[in-house]
Structure 1
Amino acid sequence: MTFPQMLASAEAAHPIVLDGGLGTAAEDRGIDLDHHLWSAELIRTGPDTLAEVHAAFASAGARILTTASYQATPLGFARAGISAEEGHRIIGESVRIARRAADRTAAAGRGTLVAGSVGPYGAALGDGAEYTGDYRLTPEEFTDIHRPRIAALAEAGADLLAVETQPRLDEIRAIVGLAEETDLPVWVSVTLQDGTDTVAPALPDGSSLADVAKAATASASVLAIGVNCVRSSLVAPALEELSAHTAMPLIAYPNSGEIYDASAMEWRDDRAEAGIGSWPVAEWTRLGARIVGGCCRVRPDDIAVLSHRG
């Protein structure tokens, strides 16, 4: 089954379920991800562990597995002393590892797809910039940064591209333009300014979700848009705003409920929201979400909860 076919068959009562926090599940297995490549370091140093993580999410009911390439960028590879050629191989291996886990579900009569993760440039900076969008590059610079990863993911056989946790509209436009060159379907999900729930949701760079919807619908490659790596209470307002500007299927995969302190670079549970079991998934699907899952701190057991509800 292809991603367009999967989307076409999705219903409000039975949304497509994604996986959860790859890094969280790896850390639960005792893996230290304090590295320039974050979870991408597992591709070369712990492929068996990475395969176990993917398999755990697939067993929990995830229909789409995202690769460990979120932070696999030329900048990160250079800082880790990895050549461009080796970086290309590592990114391709992220697809092959996820594919092996996805293929195991075929025996159970359930198709599982592999989404090539394309994180923002800010993730490679390692300073929380993916949540603030506090960086400035030209369209050409964005293209140079993202082209190698996208090419490697496509070459290795990813079923689609997950352009995720995006804080800047100009970067989204650059990445979507590159994605169009691959002929792969794409979803675009953004992170949001973490203000009060009564303020109109917007990207960290100040761009409106109306502008995000406009940029996404301008590309035939983008088949779904939405939000990820946000508080669950921000999901419904964001989906409502997006649904006012597009009829495209929407996607939501928030964090578990703990709050990330970008200045301290740590997760805090002192202001945590209620857990996954209380997520208003029915409301999200009423607003147009046809793909739901989890991001940071969301484990396979949490995905099993979402799968059961779906």
Structure 2
Amino acid sequence: MIEKKGEILSDLYILDCGLGSELKRKGFDLPDWTNSIWSAQAIIDEPDLIVEIHKDSIEAGSTVITTSNYYATPLILKDKQSKFDYKELSEIALTLAERAVKQSGKDIMIAGCFPPINVSFRPDLTPNKSEVESFYETLAEIYKGRVDAILCETMASIFEGEIAADVASQHFKKVWLSWNTRGLNPSLIPSGEELIQAAKSVSKFNLDCQLINCAHADLITESLEILKSVASNIGVYANSSIHTSREKQLESYENISEVHYHHQTEISSDEYAEFAKKWIAMGCKIVGGCCTTTPDHIKKIAELRS
């Protein structure tokens, strides 16, 4: 174990619900995340719907909403031959979050999203260091003075996690970094590196919190046990699902979607809240929802907070 850094957070922050699945639930024609710009398409086609979803989460009890530019990255936009620029879409995403907070009339934090630069769970597609640094530096300039925290989301390798943490910590006081796990193995991140080594690798940046996101609720609980041995503050925003089998293990990066999403059973908001109780009891200071979570999931978490 290494020395933990950072002050202990005194309050429970509640993140918002999953954006992509909520867009789909509300009738948006959401393209497949593996071969499109996914939820970023809604920034272009249905910006008011994004504001509505932000407000739904706020009304449900979120104290933090995250900007909606998760898939608005230069590599994804270029690969899908989009005419839109990631800087433009990220600026719009921030404006939509600001609009939602203003319309809510509540004192809500905005977390600026530092997403993976390429497709989720695919660290093999990450480019060189200078390209990744430039991406995050550009986002930092857009967010500067307008967000309350940076949330580095779904980090899949130590390489990308360290770059995101480094850039974010140079520009912002409050930085949260969230790791993803490799298939159905709660002790590894998608690159195949040990989660505990990943957590140790970014401890030097004195982050406010390290989290786990976008994995089954039951498996994430195992990951949090690892994370809390290193990080001063831990957090979680899981998928509203539990795994049904570990027989199908990750064989390559190409089949990671199958492993992540095809061996699962969705759970209700009440069942999710039972996991959230465990996470809070474990010491989680940030709790929210990822894929297939709804405002009702957030409401159940908020009830635990009160």
Work out whether the TM-score is over 0.5: yes
Report matched runs for 1:217-296 at 5 Å. 217-220=203-206, 222-246=207-231, 248-257=232-241, 262-263=256-257, 267-268=261-262, 271-272=264-265, 274-278=267-271, 279-296=274-291
1:51-80 alpha-carbon deviations (Å, 9 max, x no partner): 111111111111111111111111233334
**Which of 147, 150, 156 lines up with 1:167 in the alignment?**
156
* Structure 2 Cα separation of the partners of residues 277 and 289 of structure 1: 18
Give the equivalent residue in structure 2 for 1:81: 82
Native 8 Å contact 2:183 2:256 kept in 1: no
1:250-294 alpha-carbon deviations (Å, 9 max, x no partner): 1111001066974559954x7315433223323212322011111
Report matched runs for 1:1-310 at 5 Å. 8-10=9-11, 15-34=12-31, 36-78=36-78, 79-82=80-83, 84=85, 87-106=86-105, 110-123=106-119, 130-154=120-144, 157-195=146-184, 201-220=187-206, 222-246=207-231, 248-257=232-241, 262-263=256-257, 267-268=261-262, 271-272=264-265, 274-278=267-271, 279-310=274-305
What secondary structure sits across from 2:171 in the alignment? coil
Native 8 Å contact 2:38 2:71 kept in 1: yes
TM-score, L = length of structure 1: 0.82
The aligned amino acid for 1:230 is: A
* Structure 2 Cα separation of the partners of residues 27 and 254 of structure 1: 18
What secondary structure sits across from 1:121 in the alignment? coil
Give the equivalent residue in structure 2 for 1:127: none
Native 8 Å contact 2:179 2:189 kept in 1: yes
* Structure 2 Cα separation of the partners of residues 265 and 95 of structure 1: 32
* Pairwise CA RMSD: 2.6
Q: Which structure 2 residue ranges, 5 or more long, are not aligned?
A: 1-7, 245-254
- Displacement of 1:104 after TM fit? 3.5
Greater displacement, 146-155 / 94-103: 146-155
Q: Structure 2 vs 1, CA of residues 265 and 139 (structure 1 numbering), >3 Å: closer, same or farther?
A: same
* Structure 1 Cα separation of the partners of residues 256 and 190 of structure 2: 13
TM-score, L = length of structure 2: 0.83
Greater displacement, 157-166 / 87-96: 87-96
What secondary structure sits across from 1:193 in the alignment? coil
What secondary structure sits across from 2:241 in the alignment? coil
* Structure 2 Cα separation of the partners of residues 92 and 304 of structure 1: 29
- Displacement of 1:190 after TM fit? 0.8
What secondary structure sits across from 1:170 in the alignment? helix
Count of residue pairs brought into register by the alignment: 282
Give the equivalent residue in structure 1 for 2:252: none
**Aligned sequence identity (%):** 24
* Structure 1 Cα separation of the partners of residues 156 and 21 of structure 2: 21
